[in-house]
Amino acid sequence: MIKEVIIVEGKDDISAVKRAVDAELIAVGGFGINKKVIDKIKEAQNRQGVIVMTDPDFAGEKIRKIISKRVKGIKHAYISQEDGIKNGNIGVENALPETIINALKSAKCELKEERKEFKVEDMVFFELTGCVKSKIKRDMLGRELGIGYCNASQFLKRLNNYGISREEFHRAIDKISNLMKEKKDE
């Protein structure tokens, strides 16, 4: 049972999440997030907290940003595009129950104050930008840290905004580096 209310995009997402966990859900119905829906999300946030789990695509990210801007202190759960794809369709509704459970367990809350723990130099040093495999590395690291996939600039913001510690970051980097080395050796 999940304490927080889970915010998803549509009815198919509700079905997928309900197969994975027992929780209260709200579907925003895509970009048409009106004041009534935002008020409902704010009420849920005040009452028991909210976790936003939108599709791992441009539209899902846009919806996530709209909600984040209007409702403070929410948590974010991410599934990867790879875990959310079926027959060319990307969405939460395609994720396996285990994937949804893991994403919810890894949900992160944005910090109130802006942090500058990680810098562009970190992104370059750890080859998260500027290299052929940077995109793959960010995808793997985003999965490991529970902050999802995004471009280098957004990834840097997430590292800082979600309060990822240096220790947590280094553990995840070591893990994905080992996985990448194993794949290369195969």
Give mean pLDDT, residues 27-47: 91
- In the chain, list all ranges with CATH 3.40.1360.10: 1-110
Longest dimension (CA), the chain: 54
Q: Which CATH class is domain 1-110?
A: alpha beta
Average pLDDT value for residue range 129-149: 94
**In terms of pLDDT, which residue wins out, 183 or 53?**
53
In this structure, is the dihedral angle defined by the CA atoms of residues 151, 168, 23 and 48, taken in order, positive or negative?
negative
Per-residue pLDDT tens for 77-127?
999 999 999 998 999 999 999 999 999 999 999 887 888 999 999 999 999
Task: Please state the rounded mean pLDDT for residues 166-170.
Answer: 96
CB 61 within 8 Å of CB 9 = no
For residue 129, what pLDDT is reported?
Answer: 96
User: Pairing state of beta strands 108-109 and 75-76?
Assistant: antiparallel
> 146: left (phi > 0), else alpha (psi -120 to 50), else beta?
left
